[in-house]
Amino acid sequence: MFYDHYVIAPEFIRREIGSLVEGNTQLQGIKTSFFLPSSDKDNECLIFDAIKEMKCDNDILLLCDASCPPVSVPDDYCGSLKVSRPVDLYNMFAGDRRLQEHKDAGAFITIPGWLESWQHDPDGMLSSMLLDGSFSERYSSILILDTGLYPGMPLIAKRFSEQVGVPFSIMDVGIEHFKLEFDNMVLQWSIEKKQDQLKVCNRKAASYAMSIDFIKTIADLTDEATAIDSICKLFSTMFAPKNVVYYSFHENEIELKYCKSPESEKELIMNLRDSDSNYVVFDKEDGFAIKILAAEDLLGIIEIHGVAFPEYLDEYLSVGYDLAKASGLAISNIRRYHELFRSREEHVKLTETLRTTNRILRHDIANDLQIVLGALDLLEENYDEKFLLMIRKAANKSASLIENMKELDQLSVGVDQLEILNVKELMESIMGKHSVEFNMVGNCAVMGDKALSSVLDNIISNAIVHGDASKIDIVMQNDDTSCKISISDNGVGIPDSVKPKIFDEGYKYGKTGHTGFGLYIAKKTIERYSGSIHVEDNDPVGSTFVIGLKPARIH
């Protein structure tokens, strides 16, 4: 049984081929088409007209006699074409030895199908030789190889003989010799096709083996840049191209990663991005670009230029498409991993915030309210100014705790809601609230929210209230990678034993220590900005709080 096998042959052997193919289980599945050779028409065009009628883009066996022209495959034909061109087509009917004596004697050898075609189109068959009378000069006789499929053949042969002026004879050859020759040709063709398919399968098997190793390699990666580098290296190894370029897509943003060369078909890539197609082949047919997808999400596009063997481009594209699927899965998993990781971090932060809020509500504010109620009871029994002071102090502490809770709410705000802040302007606003001496140098632009102002105010307030500072020095240093904010005071300073604990939740130090949450919230806020904060001694006295933040990129 043959699949996707097509035979195209001259019209004058239609009956012979039909008798072999029809009803023959060994040749079952072969599809046939025929063309009528002509001396005054382009036979090559006739052949491809027959191919188009078959609507075939698979392998085709073209059976042609010696007069058939060289066949070049047109640009719009995407199949493969095998041309079988016997030295003499008629040898397939009787064998060369049997016919050689007649050839040597100058015989014109033909078959009944050719004569029948001549009868239907006498001007098209041998028209030039018939018009100038050269047929009788070139041939001494006519030999007709009778296959037994044309009952009216002798009468047609007689008419042809009379027109060309050359005698004819008939050789009864039957169909058996042609059957053996045709079967052998088709089987040989099928073997060659299967060998080609085996080579393709072997190459694909090797490619898939590399693909499996590749998938194993990138399956455990958690860094997208490393995964992209591995993808580019694999495509370079598989197809030996001159250039490999990878475009990474994050929502509407595009980042060009030069894996091997900065050359790129960017306009073509953008067209592919906006199209429904998953790949595009370049005009030179020496490379392609493939989308890296996860479900319907476009994660990237990889671009391959100047492959080593362009004749295998279809196979390369097939393998590349499979690799792109694996790459899409890997990149998608990496992004999902980071999303889950960020989500888990946010969940931990939110849980911590809720726990702290719950503690403030249940413990600290409840204690302050008990103090207020107790002082009121004592005040009713005996008026004393100190009871009013107790009430005022407890109320102020509760108010401070509630203010801290507002700042705690800010810890649950995502970094995607941050905006560009001018630190100098924030400092100037805070300085106006306090009646101490300030010196400020430099400026920074950072990504933050209103919680940053609370952090800076808390540090300055602590220096004044708890550290008895009368002077605050603020220095801002900015470069491409960081914004360093130093807040120094001339107060009493912070002991070394206290410094490691000063940012802990609920830690209080000194007689005027309030809630113990101010610096804890400050640290969590700065960490939410992906920054850092620490305290060190100020020379000669006091303390210095140092905040490091990423600078804002102002376009």
Which token pair is 444? 């920074």
pLDDT at residue 112, as a whole number:
94
Helix (H, G, I), strand (E, B), or coil: what is residue 297?
strand
pLDDT at residue 145, as a whole number:
95
pLDDT at residue 474, as a whole number:
96
pLDDT at residue 158, as a whole number:
94
Radius of gyration of the chain (CA): 46
Contact residues for 236 (Cβ-Cβ < 8 A; gap 6+): 244, 259, 260
**DSSP bridge pairs for 445:** 422
Question: Would you give the distance in Å from CA 57 to the centre of its chain?
Answer: 28
- What's the angle, vertex CA 43, arms to CA 39 and CA 47, rounded to 5? 150
* CA separation for the pair 47, 69 (Å, rounded): 10
Contact residues for 322 (Cβ-Cβ < 8 A; gap 6+): 207, 208, 211
pLDDT at residue 437, as a whole number:
95
Q: Is the dihedral of CA 519, 523, 525, 531 positive or negative?
A: positive
* CA separation for the pair 328, 323 (Å, rounded): 9
Number of Cβ atoms within 10 Å of the Cβ of 504: 12
pLDDT per residue rounded down to tens, the chain (555 residues): 566 677 888 888 999 998 888 877 777 778 888 877 655 555 556 666 666 665 555 567 777 765 565 555 555 555 555 555 565 788 889 988 889 999 999 999 999 999 998 888 766 655 555 556 678 888 999 999 999 999 989 999 999 999 889 999 999 999 999 999 888 888 887 787 778 777 767 766 776 676 677 777 777 788 888 888 888 888 888 888 888 889 888 876 777 676 666 666 778 888 888 888 899 998 888 889 999 998 888 999 999 888 888 888 888 888 888 888 888 888 888 888 888 887 787 777 777 766 766 665 555 565 566 667 776 777 677 777 776 777 776 676 666 656 655 555 555 555 567 889 999 999 998 898 888 999 999 999 999 888 888 889 889 988 988 889 999 999 999 888 889 999 999 999 999 999 989 988 777 776 555 556 778 888 888 988 889 999 999 989 999 999 999 998 765
Q: At what angle do helices 14-21 and 176-219 cross, to 10 degrees?
A: 60
* CA separation for the pair 149, 119 (Å, rounded): 16
Residue-by-residue DSSP string for 489-540: E-SS---TTTGGGTTSTT---STT---S-HHHHHHHHHHHTT-EEEEEEPSS
Contact residues for 417 (Cβ-Cβ < 8 A; gap 6+): 449
Which token pair is 148? 């037994």
pLDDT at residue 519, as a whole number:
87
**E strand or H helix that includes residue 245:** strand 243-250
Do residues 446 and 550 lie in contact, with contact meaning Cβ atoms separated by under 8 Å? yes
Burial of 218 (0-12, 13-18, 19+ CB in 10 A): buried
Helix (H, G, I), strand (E, B), or coil: what is residue 70?
coil
Task: Considering the domain delimited by 91-174, tell me its CATH architecture.
Answer: 3-Layer(aba) Sandwich (3.40)
- First-residue to last-residue Cα distance in the chain: 68
* CA separation for the pair 100, 439 (Å, rounded): 116
pLDDT at residue 439, as a whole number:
96
User: What class is the 200-335 domain?
Assistant: alpha beta
- For residue 162, the number of C-alpha atoms closer than 13 Å in the C-beta half-sphere is 7
Number of Cβ atoms within 10 Å of the Cβ of 83: 14
Pairing of strands 81-84, 60-63: parallel
* CA separation for the pair 168, 162 (Å, rounded): 9
Number of Cβ atoms within 10 Å of the Cβ of 69: 13
- What's the angle, vertex CA 391, arms to CA 388 and CA 393, rounded to 5? 110
Pairing of strands 168-172, 107-110: unpaired
Contact residues for 426 (Cβ-Cβ < 8 A; gap 6+): 452, 453, 456
pLDDT at residue 175, as a whole number:
92
Q: Is the dihedral of CA 306, 310, 314, 319 positive or negative?
A: negative
Helix (H, G, I), strand (E, B), or coil: what is residue 54?
helix
Do residues 141 and 108 lie in contact, with contact meaning Cβ atoms separated by under 8 Å? yes
For 337-341, the CB contacts below 8 A with 24+ separation are 337/222, 338/222
**Residue located via tokens 């100058």:** 106
* CA separation for the pair 490, 474 (Å, rounded): 12
Enumerate the domain spans of the chain: 91-174, 200-335, 353-410, 415-549
* CA separation for the pair 526, 536 (Å, rounded): 17
CATH among 3.90.226.10, 3.30.565.10, 1.10.357.10, 1.10.760.10 for 415-549:
3.30.565.10
| Closest alpha carbon to 305 in 235, 256, 247, 257 | 235
| Closest alpha carbon to 90 in 108, 69, 105, 71 | 108
Same fold, 91-174 and 200-335: no
Contact residues for 376 (Cβ-Cβ < 8 A; gap 6+): 387, 391
